[in-house]
Each structure stands twice: as structure tokens, then as C-alpha cells.
Amino acid sequence: MKIVYSPKHKQHSPPFEIYDDVKEEYAEKPEGIETIYNFLRQKGVGSVISPGSFSMDNIRKLHHPAYIDFLKKRSGQLRKGEILYPSYFITDTYIAVTSGTYNAAIESVNIVLTGATGILDGEKLAYSLCRPPGHHAEERSMGGYCFFNNAAIAANVLSKTEKVAILDIDFHHGNGTQNAFYERSDVLYVSLHADPRFKYPYKTGFAEEKGKGKGLGFNINYPLKLKTGNKEYLETLKKALRDIAEFNPKYLVVSLGFDTYEHDPICDFKLTIPFYEEIGAEIKTLNKPTLLVHEGGYAVDALGEIAYNFLKGLSS
């Protein structure tokens, strides 16, 4: 298995987020990806490669040029150490732009596209260590720590001639990914996440959202109650995997968040570290070429072990 990694994400490291007008420490820290990367290397899992570079067209298919230009310009205007909380092209105020943000976000897309290229070349499994994450990024907006929608951009490339399923197992609903494919029948989006009545992104992720037009029936949400534990999670995951098996895609993209972990500092599920091996093993039963795309996960110290267990289940 190839692990795609780049140190450029460290250029994006805002010190604060703003939550209901109060400054809080920025939960989406560079240490998350670094912990996973170092742990897997130390365990000798996978072979690490650096991302290549790709045409901006891949991003332009998912994001409006005005939004891309805005992010590039505003990020480019900042000096090192300056932070901007934008007022436009944004869905919430958690997210901050720094001088390195645009470059890090572009590199994150390069990371996912390098993984996708491996899958198109016949690899069975690739792990794209994307940061910043992507599943909340919409056509014209950043939000929820996300700038460009890595998983959606990759799924769009993989779906040129084939059907693709996206399984989103981050704690939060991937509003950006859902929107990107809401009217398409060739890309199935299935998500397990915290009930949006109580948790971010609040506005989407309800079970009634099933797709539109040609896409009706190709969007499936499984909102789960707060404090969901291993057993209940597994039951729902099995349903989601049955949906995917029925759709029978050529490729699988997993939006892989580890913020479902019981001690995640900003989330409320109760999944235990050994349980991630079971999640991996369940996903493996689909037996599809699979691109793993990192999303959230804020209990920095546990992320290495969680990722290791997940991969153990997926590859054994």
C-alpha cells in the first residue's frame, strides 16, 4: 500500500478558531497527520511516496473559479503569522486562512490525486494523508477546517468512466461531498455521522436527503445519536456496506475521519481503539480498489494507533 504524504500541510497552522465569538485553540492541528505518518513509518506499514502535481482543472470541476481565486488572493496577501477570518466564500467561522493555507490546500489535492492515480493504475489500496481536510468544502465555500474537497475531487476523477462509491465515516456529515454528487447517479455517497440536529454541520446530513433528479436514491445518510458505541456503529456500518455492495461500484473512496474515537476532544461517539480494526475488516469485505482520504480526528496522541488498527483490518 502506498501512503501519500507531504510536509507542506505544516504551512497551514492557524492558532485559533472562533466559536460563538470566542477564540479557541484550532483543533485541526498539523500534529494529527504527523502522528499518523510517524506511527505507520515506525511500524513499517506501507511505502511512503510524495505527491505529484496536477492540473488546476481537477479543482475547477468542483469549485467555482471565483472561490478559488478568492482563497489564492487572500492567502497570498497575508504575511507569515497573520490570520484572516474571511467574510465571504465561507459557511462558518471556525476556519481561518493563513499565508500558507492556499499552498497547503493545493498540496492536499495533489495528495489525493496521487492516490487516485495509483488506484487507476491498478493498485488495490492507497492512503492519502490529506491535510487540510476536505469533505465540508462546497463549490463556493470553505468551512469546517476544509478548503478544497479532496475526496470529491478524487471521486470525480475516478468516475470518468466508472461508478464510484464514497463512504464517509468521519464523525461529521460531509455536506460538500453530498452537494457535489447530489444530482448524479454514477457516484453514490453514503455517510455515517452524528445527528445534525446536535452537531456540525447542522444544516445537512438528515436521512431525508436522498438525492435529486437522476441522483435520487444515490445519496444515503445515516445520522447516529450522540454517544454511539461500537455495537450500534457496526450495525449501521453493515447497512451502509450493503448499500454500496448493491450499487456495485468499480472504485471505493473512503472519507476517513478518526474523530469517532471515544476520547476525541470535540466529538461525542464512543468507538474504542481496537474497534477500528473491525471497521477496516468490514470495509475489506467489499473487495473494491479503495482510496483512503484523511478527514478529521482531533485526539492527536491516539491517531497513530487508530490508523494502524484500521489498516490492519483492511489489509489482513
If one asks whether residue 257 binds Zn ion (CB under 5 A), the answer comes out as yes
Among ligand OKP, Zn ion, none, the one that 305 touches (CB under a kind-dependent 5 to 8 A) is none
Instruction: Tell me: cis bond preceding 132? Omega within 30 of 0 counts.
Output: yes
**Positions 44 through 103 that interact with ligand OKP (CB under 6 A):** 94
Strand order across the 290-294 sheet:
47-49, 2-4, 125-128, 290-294, 251-256, 164-168, 187-194, 219-224
Binding partner of 133, given Zn ion, ligand OKP, none, CB within 5-8 angstroms per partner class: ligand OKP
- From the list Zn ion, ligand OKP, none, pick the one residue 249 interacts with, judged by a Cβ distance below 5 to 8 Å according to partner type: none
Does the protein bind Zn ion through residue 247 (CB under 5 A)?
no
Give 171's Cβ-side CA count (13 Å radius): 27
* # binding residues, ligand OKP (CB under 6 A): 18
Residue 268 is a binding residue for ligand OKP (CB under 6 A): no
Q: Which is nearer to ligand OKP, 166 or 247 (CB)?
A: 166
Q: Is 259 in the site for ligand OKP (CB under 6 A)?
A: yes
Q: CB–CB of 53/110 below 8 Å?
A: yes
Shortest distance (Å) from residue 58 CB to ligand OKP = 22
**Cβ closest to ligand OKP, residue 115 vs residue 144:** 144
Residue 116 CA to residue 278 CA, distance in Å, equals 25
- Please give the C-alpha separations between residue 257 and each of 134, 208, 213, 286, 303, in angstroms, as whole numbers: 11, 23, 29, 19, 10
- Residues 3-32 contacting ligand OKP, CB under 6 A: 17, 19, 24, 27
Site for ligand OKP in 99-158 (CB under 6 A): 133, 135-136, 144-145
Angle at 127 between CA 125 and CA 131, to 5 degrees: 160
Q: Does 170 bind ligand OKP (CB under 6 A)?
A: yes
Q: Is 200 in the site for ligand OKP (CB under 6 A)?
A: yes
**Does the annotation mark 135 as catalytic?**
no
Examine residue 294 and tell whether it contacts ligand OKP (CB under 6 A).
no
DSSP string, 183-195: T-SSEEEEEEEE-
The residues, any chain, with a CB within 8 Å of residue 289's CB and separated by 6 or more, are: 119, 122, 123, 124, 125, 250, 251, 252
- How many Cβ atoms from other residues are within 10 Å of residue 120's Cβ? 15
Contact stretch for Zn ion (CB under 5 A) within 79-87, 165-173, 242-250, 298-306: 165-173
Q: Pick the binder of Zn ion from 259, 277, 278, 305 (CB under 5 A).
A: 259
C-alpha torsion sign, points 147, 280, 127, 247: negative
Q: What is the 8-class DSSP label of residue 236? A: H
Strand pairing category for 22-25 and 16-19: antiparallel
Active-site position among 136, 172, 173, 193: 136
**37 binding ligand OKP? (CB under 6 A):** no
Interface with ligand OKP (CB under 6 A), residue from 2, 63, 172, 294? 172
Q: For residues 196 and 267, give the distance between their C-alpha atoms in angstroms, rounded to a whole number.
A: 12
Comparing CB distances to ligand OKP, the nearer of 174 and 211 is: 174
DSSP state of 15: S
Counting contacts by CB under 5 A, is residue 296 touching Zn ion? yes
CA 267 and chain centroid, separation = 16
Return residues touching ligand OKP (CB under 6 A).
17, 19, 24, 27, 94, 133, 135-136, 144-145, 170, 172, 200, 257, 259, 266, 295-296
Q: Which residues lie near Zn ion (CB under 5 A)? A: 170-172, 257, 259, 296
Residue positions annotated with a catalytic role: 136
